[in-house]
Structure 1
């Protein structure tokens, strides 16, 4: 039997992307017993992977046929041949050491010559790396040595008490300064509750003092006089003179007309602009009527007064308006004025007008 010499090297270019079979590269230079290269000749190979030792159990074996090149070089993929026994993918590379046994038939058949067995070193175990992440973790290593203390970082410094605030500097980059206590009228607790301070009313520099009652007592009660006279409600407004007043409004956006009978003599609805007396064919007599204060109306408001459906001579009006002065020509009175309604015109209208001047006065218009 001719002795066959060959040189082989394993180039482990792993096929790890879920391809079958898993394989690694194998190269060998084939020479005959005379040391001559076996060129351009089909050669038969058998490869076996042994577990534990050179005489260990065969966990995988395969056969291949390959044509050498002009230099007697053969290149093939172990794991890509025709399986004889076992499975490359079932080898657990993490549990033991492995050896590869190579056999060659330079005639291209299966009459193999034992060439040798060698241990498989690090590279084939890359096949194990693709499943190692699912293995049981190893024990925790010992605690490492504590590193050196790092440099002081840039950040917020601690405060000296609760309820302090951070303020930025007045120049760029406007970095945060040391926390400060609030002073003056405003304070905040460490639980983020804000409040107005109640300093001495005598100093006159405090919000709470400004609205508190007189005589330096910080009672926390707002003085009514500082909120205007009259009644503050959802239907009133505060006038410029400090008086709460009901705004004049019409009925559905229009001004109202109120018709009075002989027994009626009070106007209380501020939206009424025209007051009519229906005398029902009776003779005019002195008409006494009370209207709201002039200050209850916007400046320029005009009220119209008239009688109709009457017979006889002209009537006299006596107008009363609380807290108001009524002017008729040069005459004035604070509680009422007699005004002639003008010459009667039978059943036609006959009357006069009053103007609110915004200063608490009623002015008769001709």
Structure 2
């Protein structure tokens, strides 16, 4: 029997089990999102490109979320989310539940404790108040070097999310490396806190991971451009440290936010050119205006400076328009531009090369200093 057939049976069992649980005083919800777009790149690896692509303004995934009342204000909770590429009909990262897979306990007075594969605290509390929430990958950092577009997941992790106290909330996370004889090898840890008062929200957070680019470790990350020292196909034996802060203010139909991050990639082995810590300082600002209940527009700017074995500057600009035809379905259009100067790394980190324009973490870097991307897509939520 094929692996695909096993997956069909497994998912079918899950859905049947969820239905049975719903009749046993449990709350189980099936939900998800589908996002597909047509995109034009003036330069991707030396060539222009027109292609269909998945998950530009939102994720493509389906999920099951449920809870069981244990009494005393405590609930058993679970989340299973399977992400996929609608363009090709394939699973993401060849995993059934690549998006999230957690189980734990939750209560209004206690907070939520979950275990499994999940997002880190900075993704939960900081990313929603940055430009990435307006237009996803087109509005994020080149190469997503600071995980603003949540391109890293933390496996084998334990996370605690506090209740909200007068607008204040915090999260703590630890990812177990699972390396015999080395309890801190390949581990990850992070924390974040946010405060909301009226239209103002501020948040800050920290993330540290070891061996997270297809090496052994609790976190896994794939990259497809030359901004970061190594491509996803090259295992990174080293660490990554990210500090982030953001603030957002909502007044009427206008939403404005700013953000700053510092990301440091430290190799534990000599890759040639990538032989010492590479540091990325990122600053960004975004505006979104709700013209009508159905139509919104957004502007975004991100500046990225790298220093270390190589040094580069990236100036990224983006424009987005989103039109909702219903509460669940919307059309969107993005136009983004990136200009780079200075140098970066070759795919395997062995050589220094000219930095190419890179719009967010959408695709491979340009072979020239600039890159232009135009996208038209649709998102449907269920």
Please indicate, yes or no, whether the TM-score normalized by the shorter chain is above 0.5: no
The TM-score normalised by the length of structure 2 is 0.19
Q: Which protein has the bigger strand share?
A: 2
Larger Rg: 1
